Amino acid sequence: MVIFGKRELKNLIWTYWKKLKGSAKDPFFYLGAICLGLFSIISLVNPASPAISNANLLVAYPNYQTEDSFVTPGAKVKESPDLSLIQQNSLASVSPPIMVTPQVLGALMEASDYEWTQKEITEYVVENGDTLSSISKQFNISLNTLLWANDLTSSSLLKLGQTLVILPTSGVLHHVKNGDTLGDIAKTYKSTAENIIVFNNLSAEGDIYTGDILIVPDGVMPPAVVYAQPLVPMASSYLICPIAAPCRITQGLHFYNAVDFSHGKCGEPVYAAAAGQVVKVKLTNSISKWAFGGAGNTIAVQHPNSVVTSYGHLQTSFVKTGDYVSQGQIIALVGGALGMPGSGNSTGCHVHFGVSGAKNPFAK
């Protein structure tokens, strides 16, 4: 539903009046003028109209703002938001799922018309009779790509049931660290920044963040590069569960260093697992399963110890890049339902919770 304040409505009426004025010879001119007049009278004169009543707007949308008024999150209104338990020991307000901030709307518009293609990193479970060569041929990638992505050598032996990371194209997987630039990454793997930007759906050279996982198409791993990412020692209690109690894990450890949480419902709050700064908010209204590499709507938060947590398959975001969040703060709502915009490669309501730079304490 589109909501206008009086000033916005007057501007809209004036704009359309000027357009109609130049079409006075059109037989529908008079009909349009009558409709416009009636609409103006009903909308501007009727004080009880919910479409323009600031009081009603502030109750339904606590973060709604116009040129005439501004209400900050948490301000007192006639109706309070729902409350939810965090870790069974504190209460927090849950913002309504229909709230969309200007920053979120802008992010949605940026990715709304993108034509997503299959560029998802997947996992493959080794079956009887599989070899490194047969698997690389099955997925149409080079043998070296398979070896590099899984820290293997040509003499490595596969085990039945072993899980392998499969890149969507031949090349190299790179974990972005503090200080990395696309130019340096491209030079390291004998590629180009342009190829990395295009393949990873980046908007510009600066569109990378600590904790990101990039695919360098046709990249070559130099012998001196250590692929394994160093892990920061971290207490098991440093990160809290990103959903309300009970902390229900619906899928164990999978790529990358992630587990899934869910109560089986979309629209439930997603909490920041620890305090930190939001370094990435990626949103789209596309229903493509390949959106943002299959992760769909995603938020990433960098913590003081340089560990980055990511939250995927979200319904919406309540934060923007640069925001500082506290542990337990509501940052998003659970998404992931089939056909829901921004779900990515998901068929059910859940949050994909990944940890970069440390062991995932919820991994089974």
CB atoms closer than 10 angstroms to residue 69? 11
CB atoms closer than 10 angstroms to residue 53? 16
Residue found under tokens 């130099």? 222
SS (H, E, C) 188-227: HCCCCHHHHHHHCCCCCCCCCCCCCEEEEECCCCCCCCCC
Spatial CA neighbour of 351 closest among 275, 247, 280: 247
Residue 177 confidence (pLDDT) above 70:
yes
Query: Could you give the 3-state DSSP secondary structure of residue 363?
Result: coil
Distances (CA, A) of 18 to 24, 29, 33, 44, 255: 11, 12, 11, 19, 57
pLDDT at 228: 54
pLDDT at 185: 94
Residue found under tokens 């018309």? 113
Q: Distance between CA atoms of 322 and 325, rounded to whole angstroms?
A: 9
pLDDT, mean of residues 120-131:
89
pLDDT, mean of residues 76-97:
46
Mean residue pLDDT across the chain = 76
Domains of the chain: 1-80 (no CATH), 83-116+231-364 (2.70.70.10), 122-217 (3.10.350.10)
Angle between helices 29-45 and 6-21 (to 10 degrees): 170
- Per the omega criterion (within 30 degrees of 0), is the bond before 30 cis? no
How far, in whole angstroms, is CA 316 from its chain's centroid? 8
Residue 211 confidence (pLDDT) above 50:
yes
Distances (CA, A) of 354 to 109, 179, 239, 278, 301: 26, 21, 11, 14, 11
pLDDT at 244: 96
Structure tokens at 339: 């056909």
Structure tokens at 253: 């450890």
pLDDT at 29: 54
Spatial CA neighbour of 321 closest among 196, 181, 209: 209
DSSP letter assigned to residue 15: H
pLDDT at 178: 82
pLDDT at 187: 93
pLDDT, mean of residues 315-335:
96
Q: Distance between CA atoms of 303 and 298, rounded to whole angstroms?
A: 16
Structure tokens at 142: 């080079």
Residue 309 confidence (pLDDT) above 60:
yes
Residue found under tokens 């001196």? 224
Q: Distance between CA atoms of 282 and 207, rounded to whole angstroms?
A: 11
pLDDT at 207: 77
Q: What is the DSSP string of 143-191?
A: HHHHHHHTT--TTPPP-TT-EEEE-SSSEEEEE--TT--HHHHHHHTT-
Structure tokens at 33: 């003028």
Query: Could you give the 3-state DSSP secondary structure of residue 279?
Result: strand
DSSP E strands in the chain: the ranges are 82-86, 90-94, 122-125, 163-166, 171-175, 213-217, 249-254, 258-261, 269-271, 276-282, 298-302, 308-312, 314-317, 324-325, 330-334, 351-356
